[in-house]
Amino acid sequence: MTGTHAAADDALPVANGRKTAGEVWRLSRGHRLRLAVVAILGIVSTTVDLIPPVAIGFFIDRVRTGTAGLGTVLTVTAAMALSAALGAAGTAVTIVLATRAYHAILAALREELVARALTLPQHTVERAGTGDLISRSSDDVTAVADAAPAVIPVVTVTAFTIVVSLGGLAALEWPYAVALAVVLPVHVFAMRWYLRTGPRVYRAERAAMSARAQQIVESQRGHATVLGFGLGEQRHRTVMTASWAVAVQALRARTVQSMLNARLNLGECLSLTAVLVTGFVLIGHGASTVGGATTAMLLVLRLLGPVNQLMFVIDTLQSALASLNRMIGVTTIAVADTADEPPAPRDPAHAVRLEDVTFGYGTGPRVLEGITLDIPTGQRVAVVGASGAGKSTLASVIAGIHPPGTGTVARPASTVVITQEIHVFAGTLRDNLTLAAPDATDDQLRAALDTTGAAGLLDLLPDGLDAVIGVGGHPLTDAQAQQLALARLLLTDPDLAILDEATAEAGSTQSGLLDRAADAALAGRTGLVIAHRLTQAAACDRIVVMEHGRITESGTHSGLIAAGGVYAALWSAWEAGQGT
């Protein structure tokens, strides 16, 4: 993608400096007048701060000539006090305005990041790892936001101070400006070295943080598996290894900062020496005064102070810029990836059409091979097969979660997928239902619950639709959560509904209830059912049998039983198992 690069082939992209600058400039639209006021006010306030060095030099020359009196002292003192007050006030207002603009732009970027993250295709997130996206949405946003108090005052003041101090030094006596310009390349080379080295180090640090976040997320999501297989110690070592990788990258970053300090200290010593030697020569030839040399030294010291402050926050600044590049990398990739949606079938009589579709995860073997499938509009099709046959992968490809490796997929734009893993959001029951239909009335919500057999849930919850469920609220059973998902499907009213073992309450007393709920949710719409129980498949209009990523049989329940093939054998085994 133009303007971005990735640390790894599957990682989410990281925007380069030019792309980041362009996006920040775009986001600054609406704040540019305030930024212009910041620039003008910053220059004025730092110009006022030039008065004390000039006043001190003037006072020294008057003292040397014996013309200084009480009036001179009072005048110099008043000028310095007034300039200090005006300069401090102007600097404070400048920082406040700059901070407001900074946070306004950051808020807009954060909103775009969240919006793009929620629309990223699942296959893109899975390839990069959910930890990477979580790190960009949390660690990187925090790094950029937390940098504001430290970076904005220093960068704002430093930028204007450097420009005004150099201009003042040149206006005082140009040889002093020339002397400083001779050693200025030392600072320039130091910063160029750091800007060339620092971003790479900080990108590596952020990448290590993403890897650590991925390991932590996987350990938390697979907590039951970790406990069941006794993998606690192994997962602990894995997380510790990832954490040490973060520590190593952090030490590299601190080492780079120390090397920068050494270079800037050298530049500082050379700057003071150059101005002192120039003053000595000019005074010896009568081309300058002690007061002029003092003013020049004070201006250089005044220039070095902000530079030293910048040195202490450059670490934070580079870390924030690295995080900003990663955030903008997400906001720019999402537009391209989400634009590649499978087209709707040209033939309205068919809701889904697959032609010679193949698919494999990454560089692994193909999971789907030569799949050609048509699903007529309004028909309910079941997909059955042994574990690993490719059933869920087929559902994901049809849903658009994974793009096919080869072949074409056409499906309706309005498609809803429900899997066995149902998420109940922390909030009220009404909030969980209106996620699917924000404008739905309470009567419509109750009707959806009633259709899916979940109306009794309202009687169990003390506050009905206003009852808090999920984390921190009333816990729902797996069956109740699946009924909630089916109610969402009804409220969404999609053209195509895909149930990927969505009612797989295997062996529970709720299986019949969930099957009836699924039947009600699929009534009158095209449905694809990845059947966990063959009774689900038997209730569908057509059954597709998969083996090793291929469709080996297709037909009605009675037709496949009569054919005596794979499905007939599966059905006989199912009936035998149910009879035991």
**pLDDT tens, N- to C-terminus, the chain (580 residues):** 445 544 445 678 888 888 888 888 898 888 888 888 888 888 888 888 888 888 888 888 888 888 878 888 898 889 889 988 988 888 888 888 888 888 888 888 888 888 888 777 777 777 776 777 877 888 888 888 888 777 887 777 777 777 787 787 777 778 887 887 777 788 778 877 877 887 788 778 878 888 888 888 888 777 777 777 777 888 888 889 988 988 998 898 888 878 887 887 888 888 888 888 888 888 888 888 888 888 888 888 877 777 767 766 776 787 788 888 888 988 887 544 444 555 666 667 888 999 999 998 877 788 999 999 999 999 999 999 888 889 989 998 998 888 898 999 999 888 888 887 788 888 888 988 898 788 889 899 999 889 888 888 777 778 888 888 877 788 888 888 888 888 999 999 899 999 987 665 544 556 777 888 888 888 889 999 998 778 888 889 999 999 999 999 999 999 999 999 999 998 988 887 765 4
DSSP string, 245-278: HHHHHHHHHHHHHHHHHHHHHHHHHHHHHHHHHH
**Rounded to whole angstroms, how far apart are CA atoms 72 and 162?**
29
Query: Helix axis angle, 17-27 relative to 290-338, nearest 10°?
Result: 90
Look at residue 562 in the predicted model and tell me its pLDDT.
92
Tokens, residue 18: 């030019």
> Coil, strand or helix: which one is 356?
strand
Look at residue 336 in the predicted model and tell me its pLDDT.
44
Look at residue 3 in the predicted model and tell me its pLDDT.
55
Tokens, residue 537: 């498949």
**Rounded to whole angstroms, how far apart are CA atoms 216 and 559?**
50
**Rounded to whole angstroms, how far apart are CA atoms 44 and 88?**
11
Chain position carrying tokens 């990454």: 362
CATH architecture of 13-338: Up-down Bundle (1.20)
Q: Is 340 exposed, middle or buried (0-12, 13-18, 19+ CB in 10 A)?
A: exposed
Amino acid at 450: D
> Coil, strand or helix: which one is 85?
helix
- Write down the domain spans for the chain: 13-338, 350-579
Look at residue 580 in the predicted model and tell me its pLDDT.
47
**Rounded to whole angstroms, how far apart are CA atoms 21 and 23?**
6
Look at residue 352 in the predicted model and tell me its pLDDT.
92
Q: Is 29 exposed, middle or buried (0-12, 13-18, 19+ CB in 10 A)?
A: exposed
Among 206, 9, 20, 203, which Cα is nearest to 124's? Answer: 9
- Choose which CATH entry (3.90.199.10, 3.40.50.300, 3.30.300.30, 3.40.50.80) describes domain 350-579: 3.40.50.300
Look at residue 32 in the predicted model and tell me its pLDDT.
87
Among 568, 501, 555, 488, which Cα is nearest to 528's? Answer: 501
**Rounded to whole angstroms, how far apart are CA atoms 171 and 168?**
5
Among 137, 145, 143, 134, which Cα is nearest to 113's? Answer: 137
Query: Which residues are registered as beta bridge partners of 383?
Result: 530, 544
DSSP string, 205-241: HHHHHHHHHHHHHHHHHTHHHHHHTT-HHHHHHHHHH
End-to-end CA distance of the chain: 58
**Rounded to whole angstroms, how far apart are CA atoms 193 and 189?**
6
Look at residue 507 in the predicted model and tell me its pLDDT.
46
Half-sphere exposure of residue 204: CA atoms within 13 angstroms, side-chain side = 12
